[in-house]
Homo-oligomer: A and B are copies of this chain.
Amino acid sequence: MGSMDADDSSTPSAVRRSAVPTIMDVAERAGVSAMTVSRVLNGGKNVRPAKIERVMEAVAELGYRRNENARSIRPGQRVGLIGVIITNVLNPYYAEVQFGVEEAVSGSGARLLVGNSGEDARRERALVDDFIGRHVDGLVVVPSGSATAGLHKAAAAGIPLVLASRRLDGLQVDTVLIDDVAGAYEGTRELLAEGHTRIGYIGATFGLFTGSRRFEGFRRAHDEEDVSLDPALIRSTPSDPEAARRGTLGLLRLDEPPTAIFSANNRSTVGVLRALMEAGVPPEGMRLVAFDDFELSNMVPYPLSVVDHDARELGRTAGRMLMDRLSGGAEDAHGPARLVELPTRLISV
């Protein structure tokens, strides 16, 4: 516990070597007041050029850096921190989102505080709480599951909040989505147009926001073509490769297996492909449509169409919406919630 360094206890501000330099150290070295140093650091307005020079020298010599934390406790000051809560950075989709947010906000010097919720509402809440405690300027969240108390509190606390990829009922905040419904609809329609009537579905069908939306597009396309959905072909699986793999194997074991499979997300697609390889399904034996593009998708030995979209742009948009709230005056900051839906693009075989 008491592992204090060898340090004199009450030295006002006389000589403190090993510690990080403060604004006072710079002031003393430059022969000015702390206030003048502060002014220089904030643009040097109304400071004599000669003193600016002296201050800058002292800053360089001491390697002084403003203490952002001390700075942020003053009223009206921003921390320059954006909290980003994604479900799992190991999923390339969310890595793209994180990167996009950083692209959007780093221009104004803001940094990212990142946390993975792992689809766990409890962990998400802990992260939100923690981020609020660090007084982040704003939050970009891919909400896990349904509306959490944590997010409500954040919104109530007046912290600008942008939801990415998923919307939450009962939480009126800026939201950026992929147009899941239209994307799934188009992909499914292509299969139907080719004459497929028994199309397997692998992925979430409810619960998960994007899953239910994508299933909705899948269903709508069937409805429109008057093709009935065979429940045996719908494998409602969690978004992980293993579940998708098992679901796909189940489909292949059916008396009347599907002639095509719609995979609802990039995790499912990995599982679908593993199952097909494992079962030795020949290239002409299965037609595929996958939501979410992935590297090497053109290496897949089956005829594959991809519902592509720009996850990075999703993150960028979320970041921009946040910066809008922050830069705008107090009026803008409390404007009505906006909803942006980014388009998908069908990349056919």
Contact, CB under 8 Å: A96 / B92? no
Contact, CB under 8 Å: B89 / A99? yes
Contact string against B for A residues 124-162, beta-carbon threshold 8 Å, 1 for contact and 0 otherwise: 000101111111000000000001000011011110000
Contact, CB under 8 Å: B133 / A114? no
Question: Which A residues between 41 and 65 are near B, CB-CB below 8 angstroms?
Answer: 63, 65
- Cα A49 to Cα B156 in complex, Å, equals 31
Contact, CB under 8 Å: B113 / A3? no
Protomer copies? 2
User: Given the complex, which residues of B lie within 8 Å of A254, measured CB to CB?
Assistant: none
Stretch at the interface among A184-192, A203-211, A293-301, A317-325: A293-301
- Cα A32 to Cα B340 in complex, Å, equals 48
- Cα A185 to Cα B329 in complex, Å, equals 60
Question: Which A residues between 28 and 84 are near B, CB-CB below 8 angstroms?
Answer: 63, 65-70, 72-73, 76, 79, 81
Instruction: Judge if A194 is at the interface, Cβ distance under 8 Å.
Output: no
User: Given the complex, which residues of B lie within 8 Å of A115, measured CB to CB?
Assistant: 102, 106, 111-112
Contact, CB under 8 Å: A170 / B3? yes
User: Given the complex, which residues of B lie within 8 Å of A112, measured CB to CB?
Assistant: 113-115
Instruction: Judge if A337 is at the interface, Cβ distance under 8 Å.
Output: no
Contact, CB under 8 Å: B157 / A6? no
Instruction: Judge if A279 is at the interface, Cβ distance under 8 Å.
Output: no
Contact, CB under 8 Å: B14 / A156? yes
A116's partner among B2, B70, B72, B102 (CB-CB below 8 A) is B102
Contact A95:B90 (CB < 8 A) given known A112-B113, A113-B111, A134-B68: yes
Q: How far is the CB of A199 from chain B (nearest CB, A)?
A: 22
User: Given the complex, which residues of B lie within 8 Å of A193, measured CB to CB?
Assistant: none
Contact, CB under 8 Å: A295 / B270? yes
User: Given the complex, which residues of B lie within 8 Å of A312, measured CB to CB?
Assistant: 90
